[in-house]
Amino acid sequence: QEAPRPRACHGWQVSGKCGSLSYILPCNRLPVQLMSQVRLYTSNGQKKDLGSEDTNGSAHGETVRKVETGQDTTNAGQKQSSPKQPIQVKVKAVLKKREYGPKYTKNNFITGVRAINEFCLKSSDLDQLRKIKRRSPHDDTETFTVYLRSDVEAKSLEVWGSPEALARERKRRKEAEIKYRENLFRNQRLLWEYKEFFGNTKPRSSTAAMFFKGPGKVVMVAICINGLNFFFKLLAWVYTGSASMFSEAIHSLADTCNQALLALGISQSARTPDPSHPYGFTNMRYIASLISGVGIFMMGAGLSWYHGIIGLLHPHPVESLLWAYCILAGSLVSEGATLLVAINEIRRSARAKGLSFYQYVVQSRDPSTNVVLLEDAAAVLSVAVAATCMGLTSITGNPYYDSVGSLGVGTLLGTVSAFLIYTNTEALLGRSIEPEQLQRLTELLESDPVVRAIHDVKATDMGMSKVRFKAEVDFDGRVVTRSYLEKQDIEQLLQEIQQVKTLEELEAFMLKHGENIIDTLGAEVDRLEKDLKQRNPDVRHVDLEIL
């Protein structure tokens, strides 16, 4: 006899069967067979029925699980009822998502300088606030003091009384800063007068000391010698009227002006970095050398070519060349002495860098000394060319040889200027360092256990033996975490873990140690930067981006 069928408020009836697929239709009066299923609720609000499977209807081997708990196989119309089973629910515990608004960011740290500037406070106001020691990003200090932003904001309201008063003070200070910038020239003038007044009581500046050694010494010697050469060559040209002697006088004048420009570039490159130029002013030497190359081309080569062409078009007899020969001989000796000074300086610098003489000159490691070297080398060669052409003119009586000598000196100066323009332009564009040096730095990073991989490596020569290194580093979080755990008391840490009973305690535990692990990662970055600078002393700026 058929068992009684229970009635549900929302009835469903097995309406039909197609192959292995059974489908059901709703009915308010028909009995219902309850399904035994388990639903899993996740944190994103989706649910998954574990008691059913997806079917595609194409595979004949697939079968649909029966949703009924009992079924009479002999009679399709008769079904046995099954007792109701409770629904099992599995809930996944997750932390509630937090909204990080302005209230939470008040726990951020702020340095003392920013606190004074942004909140219009005095240094004495910060003495009463909580001080927190943090890891310093600078090499010269291990730790530095920071303050909670919420404490600084509360102190500013205590000092100024209200946010409106603080806003008015900020506006007033902003207007004062704008006014100061407008009167910057007058302030600099007053500062200069102040330095002049106390000039005798102050020690000699480091800028003046630069001209007594190294490239500065070479430039000052060249200025003095070339200035004397210009004076005597000018007198010889006035006496003889020789086109070659005029070219030599112009050559010495161009050398004197260009080397004075180099001296200005050396003095400007010694300026300390400021907020507008955070990487300093070392490129001023390359800029001065570039302008010097352009000056040699326009002033030296241009006038020499012009005078030589005029001599070919309108030749005139040359007077006695005895005094010209004497002056050229003296110029050869003085220019040769300056050339030897420049060669010795470049050899010493190249030996210190582990480079050959040719590599040091071509790479323009020291632009000021390079200019002196090339100018003096060109001067010695031009003296030889001028003396040869003047000798041919005096022997044959043909003034065309003298004009050809002027064109030869101009061509030599143009070649030197083109080389200086090219090398200094390459240096100012920011070229890469040697591949061997870059490979050594890359191997240092890749061999470190904390580094998993590095990408986008760039090493730019900023000039004057200063290299900026940049790389994107994929750190191994497991090694960083182990490095942190090695500095902790494991037994105490285990006790803290065992005391965690609620989600709030778990969150506090993870936040505490998570922040410490981030500090450990920062310490590893500092260690890698220090290792890179020790491996290559030319590396002054290191930028490691964490992936």
pLDDT per residue as tens, the chain (547 positions): 444 444 444 444 444 544 544 444 454 444 444 444 444 444 444 444 444 434 344 334 333 333 344 444 444 444 444 555 666 655 555 556 666 566 555 568 888 888 888 888 888 888 888 888 876 666 666 677 888 888 888 888 889 989 899 899 989 988 888 887 777 767 666 666 665 555 544 444 455 666 777 778 888 888 888 888 888 888 888 877 777 678 778 878 877 888 888 888 888 887 877 777 888 888 888 888 888 888 877 777 887 888 788 888 888 776 666 777 787 788 788 888 888 888 888 888 888 877 888 888 887 777 888 888 887 888 888 888 888 888 888 888 788 888 888 888 888 888 888 888 888 888 888 788 888 889 999 999 999 999 999 999 999 888 777 889 999 999 999 999 999 999 888 889 899 999 999 888 888 899 889 988 998 998 899 899 999 998 888 888 899 998 8
Model pLDDT, residue 65: 39
If you compute the radius of gyration of the chain from its CA atoms, what whole number of angstroms results? Answer: 42
233: left (phi over 0), alpha (psi -120 to 50) or beta: alpha
In the numeric block, the tokens 């629904």 are attached to 87
Q: In what order do the strands lie in the sheet with 467-475?
A: 451-461, 467-475, 539-546
Residue spans of alpha helices (H) in 397-489: 400-429, 435-446, 477-485
Model pLDDT, residue 367: 82
Contacts 24+ apart (CB under 8 A), 220-225: 220/263, 221/338, 221/341, 222/255, 222/259, 222/338, 222/341, 222/342, 222/372, 222/375, 222/376, 223/256, 223/259, 223/260, 223/263, 225/334, 225/335, 225/337, 225/338
Model pLDDT, residue 55: 37
Rounded to an integer, what is the distance from CA 478 to the centroid of its chain? Answer: 28
Question: What type of residue is 526?
Answer: D
Query: Is 441 within 8 Å of 539 (Cβ atoms)?
Result: yes
Model pLDDT, residue 374: 84
Compute how many other C-beta atoms are within 10 angstroms of the C-beta atom of residue 201: 6
In the numeric block, the tokens 């065309």 are attached to 400
Model pLDDT, residue 53: 39
Q: Please report the sign of the dihedral spanned by the C-alpha atoms of residue 41, residue 44, residue 49, residue 53.
A: negative
Nearest to 417 by CA among 261, 219, 255: 255
Model pLDDT, residue 318: 65
Retrieve residue 203's tokens. Answer: 């020690």
Q: In 119-263, at which residue ranges do the beta strands (DSSP E only) sit?
A: 132-135, 143-148
Query: Is 265 within 8 Å of 295 (Cβ atoms)?
Result: no
Retrieve residue 491's tokens. Answer: 């037994």
- pTM for the complete prediction? 0.59
d(CA 271, CA 281): 6
Domains of the chain: 109-198 (3.90.530), 207-429 (1.20.1510.10), 435-546 (3.30.70.1350)
Query: Is 13 within 8 Å of 30 (Cβ atoms)?
Result: yes
Model pLDDT, residue 266: 85
Query: Is 160 within 8 Å of 169 (Cβ atoms)?
Result: yes
